[in-house]
Chains A and B, each alone.
Chain A
Amino acid sequence: MTENKQEFWRWSEYNWRDENKDWREGNIVTAGIDVGSVSSQAVICVDGELYAFNNVRTGSNSPDSARRALEGALKDTGMTRDDINFVVGTGYGRVNVPFADKAVTEIACHARGANFMAGNEVRTILDMGGQDCKAIHCDEKGKVTNFKMNDKCAAGTGRGMEVLADLLEVPVTEIGEMSFQVDEEPPPVSSTCVVFAKSESMALLKDGWPKSKVLAAYCAAMAQRVASLLESVGMQEKFFITGGIAKNRGVVERIEKILGVKAIQTKFDSQIAGALGAALFAKTLYEKRQAKGVA
């Protein structure tokens, strides 16, 4: 008999398209593909405006994940890959996007995407990705002026959160909410390493801590860790958070409390910032090539 085990870390893949827009009326169609360690996104822009995107889980093969992400973004648009003028790959798998015209680092793409999503007053960006987190400063054009990343350990990242979701058998999308169901805030788990944080969380459960209290302690540890990364580059307002964990209010609100700063809220999906930035880079690069007569 096979055990039908629920995968608590699993989140739903999804796509979106601007149904009020006809891409055929545009001049330049560009795409950005962000292949991260946990999730991959494809964004299509028409004349530098967001037209469609798709968010999927990264598989074991980066080129396949890139293809799958783009196919989902193209779905129901009547557009094919040949209609796209320029593609930029980004993320840890950026050099493995087979149909990309150029690879650009995720640091530059997140800054560009954040500038589009949250406005040109954004100066500090926190990108909490699947396996690392980055603190980025940028200017009014979304150009990076300073960056620092910590990718030595999965704590403070999407992967760390998924490990905890499975351990506590709480759907990953409910962790943030549940972490506030405590009478008072417990001290953060002491470890910054995801492996030790996992065993520490197990010990707390054995000691009779409710799941919500363990989650509060873990979210607080994550928040403390990324807040110190941000403090080491210096906080400049305005502040914006990109990446999957931006959707976890258990971590976001604790970061805001430590830093005494509110992160900008936008209508856009925080997880597509890298791919969106890549699609915007693609437009600039395409125009440069056109100007040189090589596009």
Chain B
Amino acid sequence: MKANYGYTDGSGDYYITIETEGCLKCTEHDCVDACPQDVFAIIEDDYDDLVAAVVEEHRRSLAYVCSECKPASDPPPLPCVEACPQNAISHSW
């Protein structure tokens, strides 16, 4: 499943997409520890699969929460994207 967490507001689209098919093959769940803001958690989804999800408290504030990982000039690779062995995480902005 493609799970898009986030929102659109007057300034743009702020979504993190998780391809949860990747999570089914993942044993380490490195996204959870890699994120300095605790954006990810492993949950049991509605079909009883263990997958990564963006935690509820950050879903409406991603632009702000992720801002430190995304400096305006020379942004480094994102820790969450780098850590995921399945290339399951992408950001819309």
Residues of B within 8 A of A150 (CB): 7-8
Stretch at the interface among B9-17, B68-76, B80-88: B9-17
By Cβ-Cβ distance, the 5 closest A-B pairs, closest first, are A108-B46, A152-B7, A148-B4, A146-B2, A104-B46
Chain B residue with Cβ nearest A288: B48
- Near A by CB (< 8 A), chain B positions 43-86 give 45-47, 60
The 0/1 profile, CB within 8 Å of B marked 1, for residues 130-149 of chain A is 00000001000001111111
- Selected A-B contacts with CB under 8 Å, 12 pairs: A105-B46, A108-B45, A108-B47, A144-B1, A146-B2, A147-B3, A152-B8, A152-B60, A192-B10, A228-B8, A232-B13, A233-B4
Q: Once the chains bind, are A145 and B4 in contact (CB under 8 Å)?
A: no
Whether, in the assembled complex, A153 has its beta carbon less than 8 Å from a beta carbon of chain B, the answer is yes
The 0/1 profile, CB within 8 Å of B marked 1, for residues 144-166 of chain A is 11111111110000000000000
A229 to B2: give the CA distance in the assembly, Å: 15
A108 to B51: give the CA distance in the assembly, Å: 15
Residues of B within 8 A of A152 (CB): 7-9, 60
Q: How large is the interface on A (under 10, 10 to 19, 20 to 34, 35 or more residues)?
A: 20 to 34
Q: Once the chains bind, are A146 and B47 in contact (CB under 8 Å)?
A: no
Chain B residue with Cβ nearest A146: B2
Given contacts A147-B1, A147-B2, A229 and B8 within 8 Å (CB-CB): yes
Q: Main SS of the interface on chain A?
A: mixed
Residues of A within 8 A of B (CB): 104-105, 107-108, 137, 143-153, 192-193, 228-229, 232-233, 281
- Shortest C-beta distance, A59 to chain B (Å), equals 23
Q: Once the chains bind, are A146 and B8 in contact (CB under 8 Å)?
A: no
Among B1, B46, B47, chain A packs the most CB atoms within 10 A around the CB of: B46
- Near A by CB (< 8 A), chain B positions 21-42 give none
- Shortest C-beta distance, A8 to chain B (Å), equals 29
Q: Count contacts between A and B, CB distance < 8 Å.
A: 39
- Shortest C-beta distance, B77 to chain A (Å), equals 25
Please name 20 further chain A to chain B contacts, defined as beta carbons within 8 Å, in addition to the given A147-B1, A152-B8, sorted by A numbering: A104-B46, A105-B46, A108-B45, A108-B47, A143-B47, A144-B1, A144-B46, A145-B1, A145-B2, A146-B1, A148-B4, A148-B15, A149-B4, A150-B8, A152-B9, A152-B60, A193-B10, A232-B13, A233-B4, A281-B46
A32 to B85: give the CA distance in the assembly, Å: 38
Residues of B within 8 A of A108 (CB): 45-47
A107 to B2: give the CA distance in the assembly, Å: 12
Given contacts A108-B47, A153-B9, A146 and B4 within 8 Å (CB-CB): yes
Instruction: Point out the residue from B7, B13, B45, B46 that lies within 8 Å of A151, measured CB to CB.
Output: B7
- Shortest C-beta distance, B2 to chain A (Å), equals 4
Chain B residue with Cβ nearest A105: B46
- Shortest C-beta distance, A69 to chain B (Å), equals 21
- Shortest C-beta distance, A157 to chain B (Å), equals 13
A152 to B7: give the CA distance in the assembly, Å: 6
- Shortest C-beta distance, B24 to chain A (Å), equals 14
- Shortest C-beta distance, A274 to chain B (Å), equals 12
Chain B residue with Cβ nearest A148: B4
- Shortest C-beta distance, A126 to chain B (Å), equals 15
Residues of A within 8 A of B8 (CB): 150, 152, 228-229
Residues of B within 8 A of A228 (CB): 8
A149 to B4: give the CA distance in the assembly, Å: 7
